Structure 1
Amino acid sequence: MPNQPLESFEYDNPCPIRDVLDRIGDQWSVLVLLTLQPGTQRFNELMREIGDISKQMLSRTLKHLEQDGFVTRTVYPEVPPRVEYRLTELGHSFLEPMQALVNWADSHHRTIAEARRRYNRE
């Protein structure tokens, strides 16, 4: 649908919060975005930085982030081909509110874990 006029575009989910959170709220998207924060990286660099993600899942996550405009993919005509990923302006703009969420999670993780333990004991 990339060539479809904007005024006739149908959103997959007309609720902006659900539509965006469905994509970036998966297990890997936020981690990939944070890993790309310092700058352009190649696929294998991302694999090493993230560590416990499969090639298939990293590939799928990058495609989704590219589809939504958070990441750009550049292929260089070399042998073997060199492919690099970087955050777009949209991706960078998302880092500030995302960092606030990461900071909140860091600050409250112990409290949440303790609440889970209490709940499971009852």
Structure 2
Amino acid sequence: MDNTKLNDSDPYSIRGSHPILRGQWITLEFSIIIKTYYTDSTKVEYRDLENQRIQNIQGLEDILNSEEIQDSEKINVFTNRLATLKNRLDVLEDLLKTFYLDTSFLDHVKKVRKEIVNEKG
């Protein structure tokens, strides 16, 4: 049996040809990523793909602020990783705002981000 036809006939399939439902699935995945980050900032994963684990902002900042790293090249590597992670989270939040309708959750996200920024700044 052809799996493509099966997925197309299933209106709830993420691989189907229904763009609105596909957008809802993508939104759900983004919201899970962001909720996971704000619930437990030690780990953010894209689904169950262990090899694509996003590194923790706090861990990177701890490494940068510690005396462990003396090499400027390593400092640049960690600084770039930190900037990439922060940008990725910003992009995910923007996508979430575009699709997600739960404004109370969005307000919670803003509040937690402000707390994180204030603690770091």
TM-score where L is the length of structure 2: 0.30
Which one has more relative contact order, counting CA pairs under 8 Å at least 6 apart? 1
